[in-house]
Every structure is written in structure tokens, then in C-alpha cells.
């Protein structure tokens, strides 16, 4: 589900703010720590990414992030994410900035079929082949 924070929604001028539609009783949104997030409603939002304009139904929730483009939106836009070339939506590159800490894992490969059960995570020990790699940790 693509999300918009309640704070960002409320910053939209009232005259331009889309009316919230109720979410179904089956719609559930969780934070990364699995705590539930209240859904204020669903709004058709017009926004721009790069040179492209989009209209998409977003779930308005109380979250500290401004928003989250999720797989519902990304798959519809035939997204491709390249570590070296960036984000592409509908074959058009969209400039993105990575803020905060660099991810500690960028790629994991396995030599056999592996099934990771739902709602679990694995920490995989590994090394990097990047000379001079430094973080702020």
C-alpha cells in the first residue's frame, strides 16, 4: 500500500486537499515494528516523480515518514531499481537521493533454492569487496 503521512496530507491546502474515502475493514497497515497504524482514509493523490505526473490512491496514516511508494504503485509503473543507475518508472529515470545510513547489505546470493518464511528475517554474515568502504557507524 502506498502511504502518505497524516502530517503531509494536512499540509495540502484545504481547497486542493482530496476528500478521504473510508478504507475497507479488511485494510491493515503496520509499522516496521509490527505495531498497527490507524488508517485515516484513502485519497486520490496527484504527484510528480521526475518528469512524470501520477494520480494514485494513497492510504493516509499517522507515520513519521512523509510517504512511501509501495509495490502497488511501483509494479503498475513497471519500476526498475538499479544500484548503479537509479530508479526507473515506465522506462524513465527518476533522480533519487539516499539519505541516512547506507544499507549494510546490498546483495545476497545463494547457490540453492531457499525459502524464507513470511514475517521473519535472517541476518547473514558477510564481507564486502569495496575497498575503502566507510560508514558513519
| pTM attached to this predicted model | 0.67
Within a domain: residue 81?
no
Domain that holds residue 60: 3-74
Give me the torsion for CA of 80, 86, 91, 93, rounded to 10°.
150
Taking only the tens place, the pLDDT of each residue in 107-117 is 555 566 666 66
Within a domain: residue 64?
yes
Within a domain: residue 85?
no
Within a domain: residue 122?
no
The DSSP element (H or E) to which 5 belongs, if any, is strand 3-5
Q: In what order do the strands lie in the sheet with 80-82?
A: 80-82, 86-89, 92-94
Within a domain: residue 8?
yes
pLDDT-derived band at 134, boundaries 50, 70, 90: very low
Within a domain: residue 116?
no
Within a domain: residue 124?
no
Taking only the tens place, the pLDDT of each residue in 62-96 is 988 888 888 899 999 998 887 677 788 999 988 77
pLDDT-derived band at 133, boundaries 50, 70, 90: very low
How confident is the model at residue 51, as a pLDDT? 87
Number of domains in the chain: 1
Residue 106: left if φ>0, alpha if ψ -120 to 50, beta else—which one? alpha
Within a domain: residue 115?
no
Amino acid at each position: 500500500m502506498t502511504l502518505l503521512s497524516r502530517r503531509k496530507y494536512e499540509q495540502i491546502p484545504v481547497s486542493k486537499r482530496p476528500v478521504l474515502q473510508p478504507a475497507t475493514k479488511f485494510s491493515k497497515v503496520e509499522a516496521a515494528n509490527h505495531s498497527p497504524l490507524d488508517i485515516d482514509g484513502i485519497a486520490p493523490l496527484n504527484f510528480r516523480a521526475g518528469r512524470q505526473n501520477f494520480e494514485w490512491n494513497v492510504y493516509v496514516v499517522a507515520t513519521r515518514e512523509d510517504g512511501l511508494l509501495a509495490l502497488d504503485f511501483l509494479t503498475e509503473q513497471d519500476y526498475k531499481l538499479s544500484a548503479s543507475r537509479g530508479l526507473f518508472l515506465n522506462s524513465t529515470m527518476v533522480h533519487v537521493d539516499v539519505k541516512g545510513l547506507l544499507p549494510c547489505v546490498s546483495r545476497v546470493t545463494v547457490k540453492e533454492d531457499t525459502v524464507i518464511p513470511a514475517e521473519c528475517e535472517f541476518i547473514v554474515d558477510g564481507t564486502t569487496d569495496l575497498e575503502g568502504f566507510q560508514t558513519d557507524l
